[in-house]
Amino acid sequence: MLQKIYDWIDERVDVTPIWRDIADHEVPEHVNPAHHFSAFVYCFGGLTFFVVVIQIISGMFLTMYYVPDIENAWRSVYYLQTEVAHGQIVRGMHHWGASVVIVMLLLHTLRVFFQGAYKKPRELNWIVGVLLFFIILGLGFTGYLLPWDNKAYFATEVGLNIAEDVPIVGQEIRSLLAGDEEIVGAQTLARFFAIHVFFLPAAMFVLLGAHFILIRRQGISGPL
């Protein structure tokens, strides 16, 4: 059935050459775990992307129930966990996935650094990867407030105070994140939700696209 659908689309759009150009390429022997046990370190990037996909899918499900205002944010999360079928599992995946993706990204970054894969001609891809690292950290920080419980509230207040201490632009950063309020409030929650769901994911998709294009053109880096 799927083959018939693919053939129908391919007959009209001719997607096979496009797909072959994207997917069909040689994988170097040094990244094959069957030949080299150390090749497992090259899986960190793919595993990071896999967890990111899980975060996107689970996050899309969560936004179907989440209400981003201070009166209903915690109630919507509680309803999701207690009333929605499998809601607690999906929220747990998103919650723990936020930590796992940072760990995997750190391992991938360390692998690239210690194997010298950031050197010529891959400097631009290293810059894109570092930007992605900060995007993921930003997603973790903005998502932490959304359940609107005591831990999230006070942790965000600490984070905003740290941001405010940044030289020269600290006050502007806090105002951008928290709004005009002196404490974490309705504006903060609304802004964190918008940044977490719209702005940072949009930047992440652009950077991921650039990252994959550069990997496709330059190939997978070799061992040190």
pLDDT at 183: 83
Q: How far apart are CA 7 and CA 129, in angstroms?
A: 37
pLDDT in tens, 108-131: 999 999 988 899 889 999 999 999
User: How does pLDDT run across 83-111, given as a tens digit for each residue?
Assistant: 999 999 999 999 999 999 999 999 999 99
pTM over 0.85: yes
* Containing structural domain, residue 88: 28-218
pLDDT in the model for residue 41: 84
The total number of residues shown for the chain amounts to 224
- Give pLDDT, residue 74: 96
| pLDDT for res 26 | 72
In a domain, 96, yes or no: yes
3-class DSSP assignment, residue 2: helix
Residue 2 inside a domain? The answer is no
pLDDT tens-place string over residues 184-224: 999 999 999 999 999 999 999 999 999 998 988 887 777 66
Report the CATH number at residue 139: 1.20.810.10
- For the segment 155-183, the average pLDDT, to the nearest whole number, is 89
Distance separating alpha carbons of residues 49 and 47, to the nearest angstrom: 5
DSSP letter string, 5-53: HHHHHHHHH--HHHHHHHH--PPPGGG-TTT-GGGGGGGHHHHHHHHHH
Domain assignment present for residue 161? The answer is yes
223 in a domain, yes or no? no
Is residue 22 one of the residues assigned to a domain? no
